[in-house]
Amino acid sequence: MKIFIFAILLSVSAFSCAQESPKVKHVSKIKPAADLKNVKVVNTEDPVCQMKTADFLKDTADYKGKKYGFCSDHCKAEFKKNPEKYAQNAK
């Protein structure tokens, strides 16, 4: 009987670990792009991925009194990890 219960617990445990993790839809908490159309930034390209910010400005960050534009929250987060590095290369 103990072996039977152990086998069931082991099966349940293995089954739950084998399931795929749920798919998470990325939902951004930033302002819609329409709100950022007239925002003036010092760069024309995202300093992290070099995507043109004029067409894809999704987020901004202030660093040393200047506003930098980014194509995504991911690039903004990367910028914040080492802003000095990316600010030097901003175009």
Instruction: Look at residue 10 and tell me whether its pLDDT is greater than 70.
Output: no
What token pair was written down for 55? 């067409």
Predicted pLDDT of residue 30:
47
pTM summary value: 0.59
Residue of 21 and 8 predicted with greater confidence? 8
SS3 state of residue 11: helix
Summarize pLDDT for 27-75 with one digit per residue, the tens: 444 445 456 777 889 999 999 998 888 777 888 999 999 999 998 899 9
Residue 45, class by beta-carbon neighbours within 10 Å (0-12 exposed, 13-18 middle, 19+ buried)? middle
Q: Any idea what DSSP says for residue 19?
A: S
Predicted pLDDT of residue 47:
92
